[in-house]
Amino acid sequence: MKISLSKKEKIFLFAKLVVAGAILIYLTRKFESFSFKELFTAHNLPMMLSVFLLTCFNIMVQLNKWHLVFNELVGKISFKKIAHSFFVGVATGSFTPGRFGEYFGRSFIIKEYSGSEVITASIVDKLSNMVILIFSGLGTALWYVKYTESISMASYILGLALWGILLLLFIFFAMQRSSAAYIYKRIEKVKLLNKIFFHLQILKKVRTRTVFLQLFFSFLLYGIIAFQYGMLTAGFSEKPIEVSFLFVGILTLFVKSFIPSISFGDLGIRESASIFFITGIGLPPEVGFLSAISIFLFNILIPSAIGLVILVISKR
């Protein structure tokens, strides 16, 4: 497969790598005693091995999730093609704002169907991730401001009530048999959106069972990442794992996802958010940095490296 980049795209890619490198150098110098070798010392090795195994399990969850959506909305395809498209998508998404490149990256590998069908299925695949992240992120944000005593009890209860109402409304809507088709019908009535989202007619094929399976896979996905973050935080702080560590992990993911990407794999954004929230619960900033950079290494860098290898050796 031959991938060509325009001059503008090459400059943009180079800029993202430079920004990522600059942020990483700044953060590592901020913690002068830090060395990447410390991540894989004999003391930390069992913890890192556990996190790696969880990464493997998380990848399998995402592969089955993507396979389910594709088979139902587009057509039958081999699991091998699904796996290759997933890894390439992670790689291309790491270099683009908002990870939009992930949608196009998946279509580089799957040639049995049109690119627009693959991209649209990818968008549907990501919708459940977005829903779970929004609700879990808002919930942990409420917990954090209450934990740090940033709001009154009355404001906390009101926020919690609103969060609960929104969650119940979403569950009720998702349970409706024609909820996805209803969304598309609303889109059809808006002329501009109809032109832009023409291929979202694929939503008409989505069944309620598929919606809940996707939400379950997404919940499992973020639960695994939160547990990885909790394990890493407990290990680096030399404390027993606490629920608050998991909540900070979710909150870090939530904030990172809504900040425009300015570097490779959001490097620096994730670490800065982690440092901010981890210090809020009374832990040293180094713990936040080490936990976040480890999440990047296992969940972004390793899959991206696999995707780049597949992209280079693949042929149309």
Residues 113-150 have pLDDT tens digits of 888 888 888 888 888 898 899 999 999 999 998 888 77
If residue 307 lies in a helix (H) or strand (E), which one and from where to where? helix 302-313
Q: Evaluate if residue 21 carries a pLDDT over 60.
A: no
- What pLDDT, on a 0 to 100 scale, did the predictor assign at position 43? 73
Residue ranges per domain, the chain?
7-31+40-313
Cβ 273 vs Cβ 285: under 8 Å: no
Q: Mean pLDDT across the stretch 70-94?
A: 89
Specify the pTM.
0.79
Q: In degrees, to the nearest 5, what angle opens at C-alpha 153 toward C-alphas 149 and 158?
A: 120
- Which residues, including other chains, have CB under 8 Å from residue 295's CB and lie 6 or more apart? 225, 228, 229, 232, 249, 270
Q: Evaluate if residue 5 carries a pLDDT over 70.
A: no
Residues 248-267 have pLDDT tens digits of 999 999 988 877 665 555 66
Cβ 262 vs Cβ 19: under 8 Å: yes
Residues 31-61 have pLDDT tens digits of 555 556 666 676 778 899 999 999 999 999 9
Average pLDDT of every residue of the chain: 79
- What pLDDT, on a 0 to 100 scale, did the predictor assign at position 286? 86
Residue with tokens 């693959």: 118
Q: Evaluate if residue 81 carries a pLDDT over 50.
A: yes
3-state secondary structure of 3: coil
Q: How confident is the model at residue 1 (pLDDT cuts 50, 70, 90)?
A: very low
Other beta carbons less than 10 A from residue 127's beta carbon: 19
Cβ 288 vs Cβ 275: under 8 Å: yes
Sign of CA dihedral 305, 17, 55, 53: positive
DSSP state for residue 301 in the 8-state scheme: I
Q: How confident is the model at residue 2 (pLDDT cuts 50, 70, 90)?
A: very low
